[in-house]
Chains A and B, each alone.
Chain A
């Protein structure tokens, strides 16, 4: 059974890097990429091109995005009855206290900063996989 993960990331480099890291960590993971907030919401609500998009088991959300930023996306997800159960993890370069506090206020499930070093980043992705995608019990509704 594959695990559907939605990565909301505007930087293709970062997206690819994350994809590479997840590939190394768990081959069952199916990573979908949305490059901005609007696209992410369309994916989640299965609108337009994403009419047949799967409901993700897990969302990795960057904060700084074009069109609709990560905070808005988070707010939409957590105020949507059908989407709020999906674990949403903030993965960003921002270290700012304000961003951290704001994210948890908006009920982010956890806040992670992207490590600068590739090794650290790979280690982080591994631990996400081990924790969130392996150990954590997720709701089974699709």
Chain B
């Protein structure tokens, strides 16, 4: 601003001076020209006067000669001689005055000749008067030649006069023109100069006031700046600073002005002011500009604090100044340290994570990964950063980053979050391995990032495959076992029936006809065959529970019970048992099996009785899980609690064959039926008091 203003004023004044100089010289020149012209006018005028005088002298010569001719008085000739003298003088004067004029010079000899002829004629008249008297003189006067000379002379003088009059008019006009031009030029020039000066004056005043306003503004800006501002000259002396700078360093402004900047910024700043041989200070600074330099500031009390300074050069009248914006970054430094600590902690967490962690941006580029991820995929971190995630997870991941038109990525991801997605990872060597990834979105300044926790599930997959294989094997083996049990029991039944039938036939037809030993042997054979038949039948029944079971349907358990009671009619009548029941619910069951279950349990209750009337009650209640809990309570022998588990096993018996017949399969079949229905069977009992068998069945769908 300042240099500019100065330049402008200088230019304006220069212009004004030049204008005035031009006006002066031009006016002077024109005035000189005007003076010259005036002189020439006067010159012409003088010539004219001489011409007049010549004419007058010639007139006087003529009149004097005529008067002498009439009077003859010698005294009359005095003016005549004087006039002849004057004519000579005038002629000489005119000749010398018109030396500059060719036209006049050419005309002048004619005038002179005519004047001489006229004077000659007058002399002759005078001589005639003297010598021959009045008459001769008068005759000569009246002669034609005299008249002719007179006329010619008059004409020649007129020419001379008219030429001078023309010159006089021309010169007068020129003089007037220059005189007028000079006046106009003077006035205009002066006006122009005044204009230039006033314009300059006005703009200067305006610039100065603008500058003052700007200065006030900049000062305000400077003071309002959140940063401390310090302006330093090339020598490192502080030339200006704001309030914030005072506050930062704990000095008053006047304590710092003129002081070296090293007092407040001991290192790193002053060095930058000194340009080396090959570059200017501005260049040296230019490299630093725009980049905050982190240095230390020193307060008046000697304490140091971290600052960030931004330098910018400022050309001024005093040379290049450097403006430094100084920010106290103590808080930021603390925050950065804190952040670095946190980052280290999170980094530690990330690295400590048992899973590979990969952070991916919206475009599918990998922006972060941990050591585990490097190990999984066999890459170094720097080989993967910035690469597409499809390089390591070819399918199923990148697709999830792309949201369709109707939902955001976050929404698209949200659907996946919390559920492990099983995909394949590709190692650097190209081999693939199964992975499970868990995605979670991460809002950041770069947009929504996606964090993927990646687990190598090769081992798990193997284990799963192993398990599946084992389960399959187990199922197959179970099936084979059931098949075996079924086929064995079924096919064994045929030959066994032969054995049993023929031993019975033997016994029937030959009992008493052989010796007693034979009868006994046959009896054992018959008994053994019969028992084995029962065992096989029960085994067949047991294997049929799983193999031949029907669909679970909505059935009435009460009807099943009535059917079972009906099947047990004989046993109930024989024992005199009293079988009662509550209203029973509809349940999901295979009706045949449910009937068998109830029949076995009620049958057992009748069978294992102590003396007295067997009392059997069947009831059902809804349990907490919504299942129906059936109870078959009796007042029979009861079971010791140590056998509660055992009784549900295959071929498990608690009594001797002599006491109670049976194969020990009844409760095993019950357990298998209940379990096939998704229920549980148990018993509670007190020996000598009675037993209660419990089992659960799912309620029919209408109820649940």
A interface, CB within 8 angstroms of B? 11, 13-14, 17, 20, 93, 96, 114, 116-119, 121
User: Which residues of A are found within 8 Å of B508, using beta-carbon distances?
Assistant: 118
Determine the chain B residues whose CB is within 8 A of the CB of A119 once the complex forms. 504
Give CA–CA (A13, B548) in the complex, Å.
29
B530 touches A117 (CB 8 A): yes
With both chains docked as a complex, state the minimum distance between the C-beta of B121 and any C-beta of chain A, in angstroms: 192
Instruction: Say yes or no: A14-B537 contact (C-beta < 8 A), given A118-B504, A118-B505, A118-B508.
Output: no
CB distance from A14 to the nearest CB of B (A): 7
Specify which of B494, B505, B530 is in contact with A11 (CB 8 Å cutoff). Answer: B494
Is B381 interfacial (CB-CB < 8 Å)?
A: no
Evaluate whether A116 and B537 lie within 8 angstroms (CB atoms) in the complex, with A11-B494, A93-B493, A93-B494 already known: yes
Which A residues are CB-close (under 8 A) to B548?
Answer: 96
- Selected A-B contacts with CB under 8 Å, 11 pairs: A13-B498, A14-B498, A17-B502, A93-B493, A93-B494, A96-B548, A117-B504, A117-B530, A117-B533, A118-B500, A119-B504
In angstroms, Cα B500 to Cα A13, docked, is: 11
User: Most chain-B CB neighbours within 10 Å: which of A93, A114, A118, A121?
Assistant: A118
Given A13-B502, A17-B505, A116-B537, 7 further pairs, Cβ under 8 A: A11-B498, A13-B498, A14-B497, A93-B494, A117-B504, A118-B500, A118-B508
A95 to chain B, nearest CB (A): 8
A12: nearest chain-B partner, CB-CB: B498
| Chain B: minimal CB distance from A11 (Å) | 7
Residue numbers of B with Cβ under 8 A of A are 490, 493-494, 497-498, 500-502, 504-505, 508, 530, 533, 537, 548
Measured CA separation A93–B498 after assembly (Å): 12
> What chain B residues lie within 8 Å of A17 (beta carbons)?
498, 501-502, 505
Smallest CB gap from A96: residue in B: B548
Q: Quick check: A116 and B533 within 8 Å, CB to CB?
A: yes
The answer to whether B505 and A93 touch across the interface, beta carbons within 8 angstroms, is no
CB distance from B548 to the nearest CB of A (A): 8
Cβ-closest 6 pairs across A and B: A118-B504, A13-B498, A118-B501, A116-B533, A17-B501, A116-B497
**Chain B interface, >50% SS class:** helix
Complex formed: what's the CA distance from A11 to B537 in Å? Answer: 20
Query: Once the chains are docked, how many angstroms separate the CA of A17 from the CA of B506?
Result: 12
* Measured CA separation A116–B495 after assembly (Å): 11
Complex CA distance for A117 and B504, rounded to whole angstroms: 8
Complex: how many Å from CA A96 to CA B541? 11
Contact of B493 with A121 in the complex, beta carbons under 8 Å = no
Taken together as a complex, chains A and B put the C-alpha atoms of A49 and B530 apart, in Å, by 40
CA A116 – CA B536 in complex, angstroms? Answer: 11
Determine how close the nearest CB of chain A comes to the CB of B539; give it in whole angstroms: 14
Q: Which residues of the other chain, B, contact A116 by a CB distance below 8 angstroms? A: 493, 497, 500, 533, 537
Q: What's the Cα separation between A111 and B497 when bound, in Å?
A: 19
A93 engages B504 (CB within 8 Å)? no
How far is B496's CA from A118's CA once the two chains are assembled, in angstroms? 12
A96, A117, A121 pick with most chain B CB within 10 angstroms: A117
Please report the C-alpha to C-alpha distance between residue A78 and residue B493 in the assembled complex, in whole angstroms: 30
> Most chain-A Cβ atoms within 10 A of its Cβ — which of B505, B508, B548?
B505
Cα–Cα, bound, A13→B490 (Å): 17
Please give the distance in Å from A118's CB to the nearest CB on chain B: 4
Q: How far is the CA of A118 from the CA of B494 in the complex (A)?
A: 13
CA distance A117 to B508 in the complex (A): 12
Question: Smallest distance from the beta carbon of B493 to chain A beta carbons, Å?
Answer: 6
Closest CB-CB distance, B563 to chain A, in whole Å?
15
**CB nearest neighbor in A for B505:** A118
Can you name the residue of chain B whose Cβ is closest to the Cβ of A118? B504
Tell me the bound Cα distance from A65 to B76 in angstroms.
210
Q: Which of B501, B530, B533 contacts A121 (CB 8 A)?
A: B501
In the assembly, what is the distance between CA of A116 and CA of B533, in Å? Answer: 8
Contact of B505 among A14, A20, A96 (CB under 8 A): A20
Closest B residue to A121 by beta carbon equals: B501
Q: Taking CB as reference atom, which chain B residue is nearest A98?
A: B548
Closest B residue by C-beta to A16: B502
Chain B hits for A118, CB < 8 A: 500-501, 504-505, 508
Enumerate chain B residues within 8 angstroms of A96, measured Cβ to Cβ.
548
Nearest Cβ on chain B to A131's Cβ, whole angstroms: 22
In the complex, the answer to whether A117 meets B505 with C-beta atoms within 8 Å is: no
Which residue of chain A lies nearest to B493 when distances are taken between CB atoms in the complex?
A93
| Shortest beta-carbon distance from B315 to chain A in Å | 110
CB distance from B174 to the nearest CB of A (A): 153
CA A65 – CA B236 in complex, angstroms?
122
**Max chain A Cβ within 10 angstroms of own Cβ: one of B498, B501, B502, B505:** B501
Alpha-carbon distance A70/B358, docked complex (angstroms): 71
Residue of A with least CB distance to B536: A116
Using CB atoms, name the residue of chain A closest to B526: A118
Chain A residues near B502: list those with CB within 8 A. 13, 17
Q: Given the complex of chains A and B, what is the CA–CA distance between A107 and B537 in angstroms?
A: 29
Chain A nearest CB, measured from B328 CB (Å):
95
Q: B184 → chain A, closest Cβ, in Å?
A: 141
Q: Report the minimum CB–CB distance from B518 to chain A (whole Å).
A: 18
Within the complex, what minimum Cβ distance (angstroms) separates B511 from chain A?
Answer: 13
Residues of A within 8 A of B533 (CB): 116-117
Report yes or no: B497 in contact with A114, Cβ–Cβ below 8 A. Answer: yes
Residues of B within 8 A of A93 (CB): 490, 493-494, 497
